[in-house]
Amino acid sequence: MAEPQVHLVRHAEAVHNVNNDYSCRDPELTQGGKQQARDICRAFPRSQNVGLVFTSPLRRAIETTLHAFPNILDLHYFDRGSGSGVVKGAKLLIEPDVQERSALPCDIGSDKHFLESLFPKLDFSNLPADWPLKEGAYSIDEKEIDARASRFRHRLQEQIDNMEDEERRDVVIVTHAGFMRDLLGDQDIELARAEWKSFGIEQTEDGDVVLNEL
């Protein structure tokens, strides 16, 4: 049985990346960003191996996910007749722990009810009401961010361990440049928008979970 891979994807180009206006809350993708995401669909080499996709709840990440992986995600995440989605496709989890780390307006998410109106096919039931507040578990405090990254790495390992389809144990994570560095413990990594890198996952002797670039 092949070892599972974890694919970290940086979201595609959003409005604030073009107009440099970081005061816009939770901006959406540009048309160019949507095309960047669709290009992922054509280039991503391990579509048949993916059983689970995590995405940040920020709009640009959700939109990237839906445009990039219609050939991976299950049919029920898309409108009937759209041609997107696959039968018995990958599960999609909206994951607040992989949101961006800063408290700039562009990195503050929308409330759950608004997201449900924008993306009615997605399941936001596990999204806490306080997820955009940048307080508590989602604080911008460095210790809280480190705890959030560790918490998610452990949950990622648990999800992989519980996958039943041995041929589809890869995981995609659509996230942000800043939080990606915290997740990897690597402050030098810098992916371009809509770029991805693949990693192996292992548990260390002290009980931590780490991602190692392949």
- Report domain extents, the chain: 6-213
The pLDDT of residue 2: 79
Is the pLDDT assigned to residue 208 strictly greater than 80? yes
| Contact yes or no for 101/179 (Cβ under 8 A) | yes
What is the helix, strand, coil percentage profile of the chain, to 5? 40, 20, 45
3 state SS of 118: helix
CATH class of 6-213: alpha beta
CB atoms within 10 A of CB 91: 15
Q: What is the pTM of this model?
A: 0.97
Structure confidence by residue, pLDDT tens digits, 114-123? 999 999 999 9
- Give ∠ CA 71-74-77 in degrees, rounded to 5: 105
DSSP readout, 19-33?
A: H--TTSSS--B-HHH
> Could you tell me how far CA 61 lies from the centroid of its own chain?
6
Query: Six-digit token pair at 6?
Result: 């974890």
Going by pLDDT thresholds of 50, 70 and 90, the confidence category of residue 1 is: low
